[in-house]
Copies of this chain bind each other. A is one copy, B any other.
Amino acid sequence: MSQPVPESNNPADVRMRGFVQRSTVDEVLAWLDGVLAPLARELVPIVTAGGRVLAEDVMAGCDVPGFERSMMDGYAVVAEHTLGAAPYQRIRFSVVDQSLPGRPAKRSIDRGSVIRIMTGAPLPAGADAVLPAELTEADGDDIWVQGEVSPGKNVGQVGEDIGQGCVILSAPRRLRPQDIGVLSSVGIAEVPAYRQPNVRIVVTGDELLPAGTTPSGYQITDANGPMLQALCARDGGLPVNPGIVPDQPEAIRAAMNEDVDVVLVSGGSSVGQEDHAPLLLARDGELRFHGIAMRPSSPAGMGRLGSRLVFLLPGNPVSCLCAYDFFAGRAIRALGGRDPDWPYRSVHRTLRRKLVSAVGRVDYARVRLIDDQVEPLAISGASILSSTSRADGFVIIPADSEGYAAGSLVETWLYQP
């Protein structure tokens, strides 16, 4: 594990010395995956459970359908009574009642009678098949039947959709709209789902103006707070961001100690005296990593404070996004029971220009797709947030690689599918 260098009286001197040693991305991910587990379950009303992740298998408490039902519009009959019916040997039946969905027939069937029935309606007592209307001809209150049916024909059996006691859906499954329908059909009112992590976004920096403010003088408007809120919401977290936190240890400490599952600190993550969060985390909790062999985001850190996972994200907006993508987003997804891997789709494309990196460091290079090839962005410093809007996605250059030559086939992760 890497450590910040000791304090000195001169913030700049301290910060300029940088990190004594950086951890590798693999080390950080291995630790993170070791401590991540889905949060406790909670019961969620079914109409709001779309997209949530099942925390337990769900079993059916009843059969669906709970009664024999007709699969088509026609006539409920005793199949045996139709034996021998044919166009040249029609059999006459009287229609004695009708069965509609939710409104069953009152009468039952005996020889010589049928009951008109609609799709989804319950099969009347005595009937064992449904005769399609096409095999009949109406004649007043009677019908002429000109074909046979076999027992069970056009009848939906009890439990044919869902059988009582069967597992309908298994955990951990992210619920699709049709899953909600299936759960509703067995009468489930609330679904056991993993709790969504509460995420406190702690944006620090005396140079920052709140979102929605025009930047002026030497102050810049906070970009990381709103971006992190949107990232967190996308990944199933419940972000809380009451505004910029003053660059004072006690204010930052109070914000980091709120009752949440995850703390994202943006800015002040490095090793200078102005960088309070790492020192606070090291003192009050565990600063597990600080300084990571990657670009951008090398000053990122993480650790634990009580039961909270704390991510120290660099203030530079591209670094902030990158550190979120690599670490914090993974945690938020995993805590909520989702697939921890990137919510991005990847494609393989040919590089138009070489991508240079350094051995020992993971690179997160923003790229555009042009004519089905991949073009690294020319201006892509960690301070150029607009590069991530211009980019269609990114290419990862692993730590053991010096980069890729032009013409290489590279895996490209797309910000938007």
Contact = CB atoms under 8 A, between A and B. Distances in A.
B218 A102 contact: yes
25 contacts: A12-B98, A50-B234, A64-B386, A71-B381, A101-B206, A101-B207, A102-B206, A118-B272, A122-B218, A168-B389, A169-B389, A177-B231, A178-B385, A178-B389, A178-B415, A180-B229, A180-B230, A181-B321, A182-B386, A182-B388, A182-B389, A184-B211, A185-B223, A187-B209, A187-B213
A17 B206 CA distance: 75
Interface residues of A, number: 107
A117 B102 CA distance: 78
A186 to B, nearest CB: 7
A233 B180 CA distance: 13
A196 interface: no
Contacts of A316: 119-120
Nearest to A66: B215
Contact of A207 (B50, B103, B383): B103
A183 to B, nearest CB: 8
A386 B161 CA distance: 6
A6 to B, nearest CB: 16
B221 A185 contact: yes
Contacts of A168: 386, 389
Contacts of A117: 12
A383 B71 contact: yes
Contacts of A182: 223, 385-386, 388-389
Interface in A168-213: 168-169, 174-190, 205-209, 211-213
Contacts of A118: 12, 15, 272, 274
A69 B385 CA distance: 15
A410 B226 CA distance: 42
A400 B207 CA distance: 64
A188 B209 CA distance: 12
Nearest to A381: B71
B321 A230 contact: no
A17 B133 CA distance: 8
A242 to B, nearest CB: 11
B185 A317 contact: yes
Nearest to A98: B12
A181 B345 contact: no
A144 interface: no
Given A102-B205, A161-B383, A187-B221, A47 B181 contact: no
Interface in A131-165: 133, 138, 156, 160-162
A380 to B, nearest CB: 11
A350 B151 CA distance: 37
Nearest to A415: B176
A86 interface: no
A34 interface: no
Contacts of A156: 381, 383
A95 to B, nearest CB: 9
A187 B215 CA distance: 6
Contact of A215 (B64, B103, B219, B274): B64
Contact of A227 (B65, B69, B180): B180
Interface in A361-396: 379, 381, 383-386, 388-389
B176 A47 contact: no
Nearest to A141: B10
B186 A234 contact: no
A255 interface: no
B177 A234 contact: yes
